[in-house]
Chains A and B, each alone.
Chain A
């Protein structure tokens, strides 16, 4: 390849030297050597067929996404016909879950999915952004490699391992040390009330927070690294302290990417199944206290589908899947709107 670049070539086509022709003095007889790219383009022949094929192939790849989503939606609707017909819209607002009397409603599960995800975001976002700020702005070089390796390691642990760890380590810790303090300090809000079993909505939120932490922090770190150094230098040059530089020069510029990473984390929290199923206590009730047992859409499907033997019961569980599908779509639309609101032409300001 290299050899060919060095090789001076006589122009094959009359127009080959044309673009350079204007600049090259007429007196010089040999044209400049053709670049590797130009040589390739000149020699490869007609690319119309290849271009068209490539275009259709790529279109097919893109359309396959539509096909997959449509197939999933179709499967969910077809297999939940029984309960769709029996309960109609009431299914999504009903709060009964009684397989014996075949009375089903999805509301406690929708509530559980949303609340456990919110709890996990409240815990994980500040921590993740903090980790990212430290890693990009103030971490000594030696520590940086180890820390980012460990964060990525967290992302690779299977969720069933998180679940087991939560049952045997996290839950007893929460019950003995954390929950009593929360009840004492925040009991007045009604969010942390006795009785406390250790497992419940809060435990699920904590384990979810640990699971989405690596996603949010590593993406946030990437985004913050991408902020140009000139931004930092400019803010510092104006007399900002380090914290002001991070706030105005880095976080402000990276905010879109940070919101995006939070949305990816939220996506995982909404759909996470095993770890949640193991610690949430699986009780389809809506209670104000976060220490009470609850259930999410994914956890009830994982828990009950295998042994659900009659058709209505099975159909109800599949309709829960449909509800999860719809909730994910709605949450994603809201998230898009949020990103749009954040990005809408906001000039740099000391926010």
Chain B
């Protein structure tokens, strides 16, 4: 009697093991979480027996966990620095997945949604050098707009975020002053302004305060129908951010480095929206567990072939064809 019990128990356990899903764990950036969770659930449906868990704990946490090997892959809105890669116990590659963009939002009743912001003007507003809406430098780009004689109320993100990284990275490129005195990171020492928590916090403050300016993720602005202004790109074109413009910014890149760690803010190209960036998956070059490695590789191929086609439904910008082909080559080399 006892023997049969043990036998059945062993059988049940082994059956559970073989029937149990191949579990892959990942963690990281919260910006791409909606599209990642859609991808992972569709991939699992098409591949019974595979389960991919993704925790959106933030880019910092994602980098930290994947370099320590506690998750099978990480995700980050900003590329890892050389120092971080050197410190990592596990050799990693960056796989760009989708693109994000940041748009300036403002609240000036009666002025419509077509205000234009030159790059240097945007930097100087956030530096506090331009502090009034009636400043001649704003007026110069907006002939005909009745700009009020009103203090500019500057709003930024209070939480560390990829959005802030993209925005400050852009300001660092277009303003030497910004680069020297503030720089770029997921959170910076803001010279001026007040912090709102997450996209909702910034948008909420901007909506409440006449005379406010802020910056939010393009997806957030599109889904919540928040009006936003034009920005001038490197070629001198005034652009309102759009999904196509963001993809164009990535396509305009002449030299894509082999490891994809590149900033595409202020990209050249006539229709390239200048405040945009890749978001990445961080994949170990050699998986600790060969079967998991195979699944991840298969997923990445699926993502390039099928997944990229779905991103527009969630308002993400897909990778341009040229980049996708390069990513494919990198994925093929994964072990």
Chain A positions within 8 Å of B, measured between CB atoms, are 96-101, 163, 167-168, 171-172, 175, 195, 197-200, 277-278, 281-284, 293, 295, 299, 302-311, 313-314
Of the residues A98, A281, A293, A308, contact of B186 by C-beta under 8 Å? A308
At the interface, yes or no: B64 with Cβ under 8 Å from chain A? yes
Q: Is the Cβ of B59 less than 8 Å from the Cβ of A283?
A: no
Note all chain A residues with C-beta closer than 8 A to B80.
309
Note all chain B residues with C-beta closer than 8 A to A293.
194-195
Q: Is the Cβ of A309 less than 8 Å from the Cβ of B186?
A: yes
Note all chain A residues with C-beta closer than 8 A to B81.
310
Known: A303-B159, A314-B64. 7 other contacts (CB 8 A): A101-B189, A305-B160, A306-B58, A307-B159, A309-B64, A309-B80, A309-B186
Note all chain B residues with C-beta closer than 8 A to A199.
194, 205
Q: Is the Cβ of A97 less than 8 Å from the Cβ of B195?
A: no
Closest residue of chain A to B80, judged by CB?
A309
Q: Is the Cβ of B59 less than 8 Å from the Cβ of A309?
A: yes
Chain B residues 31-65 with CB under 8 Å of chain A are 57-61, 63-64
A308-B195 CB under 8 A given contacts A97-B189, A168-B204, A197-B153: no
At the interface, yes or no: B262 with Cβ under 8 Å from chain A? no
Tell me the bound Cα distance from A163 to B205 in angstroms: 13
Across chains A and B, which 8 residue pairs bring their CB atoms closest together, nearest first?
A: A306-B58, A282-B158, A307-B160, A282-B195, A100-B183, A98-B189, A307-B186, A303-B159
Interface contacts (Cβ under 8 Å), in number, total: 111
Of the residues A163, A172, A278, A303, contact of B160 by C-beta under 8 Å? A303
Chain B positions within 8 Å of A, measured between CB atoms, are 30, 57-61, 63-64, 76-78, 80-81, 83-84, 87, 151, 153, 158-162, 182-190, 193-195, 197, 201, 204-205, 208-209
Tell me the bound Cα distance from A169 to B232 in angstroms: 36
Tell me the bound Cα distance from A302 to B158 in angstroms: 10
Tell me the bound Cα distance from A168 to B30 in angstroms: 24
Closest residue of chain B to A309, judged by CB?
B60
A171-B183 CB under 8 A given contacts A197-B153, A283-B190: no
Q: Is the Cβ of A310 less than 8 Å from the Cβ of B195?
A: no
Q: Is the Cβ of A308 less than 8 Å from the Cβ of B151?
A: no
Closest residue of chain B to A281, judged by CB?
B194
List 15 A–B pairs whose Cβ atoms lie within 8 Å, in order of A's numbering: A98-B188, A199-B194, A277-B197, A278-B201, A282-B195, A293-B195, A295-B158, A303-B197, A305-B160, A306-B61, A308-B160, A308-B186, A310-B83, A311-B87, A313-B185
Of listed B57, B83, B184, B185, residue having the most chain A CB within 10 A? B185
Note all chain A residues with C-beta closer than 8 A to B183.
100-101
Tell me the bound Cα distance from A77 to B84 in angstroms: 22
Q: Is the Cβ of A306 less than 8 Å from the Cβ of B184?
A: no
A307-B187 CB under 8 A given contacts A100-B182, A281-B194, A314-B64: yes
Note all chain B residues with C-beta closer than 8 A to A171.
208
Closest residue of chain B to A194, judged by CB?
B151
Q: Shortest CB–CB separation between residue A106 and chain B, in angstroms?
A: 14
Note all chain A residues with C-beta closer than 8 A to B182.
100
Q: Is the Cβ of B195 less than 8 Å from the Cβ of A281?
A: yes
Tell me the bound Cα distance from A310 to B87 in angstroms: 11
Q: Shortest CB–CB separation between residue B162 and chain A, in angstroms?
A: 7
Of the residues B185, B197, B209, contact of A100 by C-beta under 8 Å? B185
Q: Is the Cβ of B208 less than 8 Å from the Cβ of A306?
A: no
Q: Is the Cβ of B195 less than 8 Å from the Cβ of A283?
A: yes
Tell me the bound Cα distance from A310 to B83 in angstroms: 9
Closest residue of chain A to B30, judged by CB?
A306
A307-B58 CB under 8 A given contacts A195-B151, A198-B208, A293-B194: yes
Q: Is the Cβ of B195 less than 8 Å from the Cβ of A304?
A: no
Q: Is the Cβ of A100 less than 8 Å from the Cβ of B205?
A: no
Q: Is the Cβ of A307 less than 8 Å from the Cβ of B59?
A: yes
Tell me the bound Cα distance from A32 to B35 in angstroms: 81
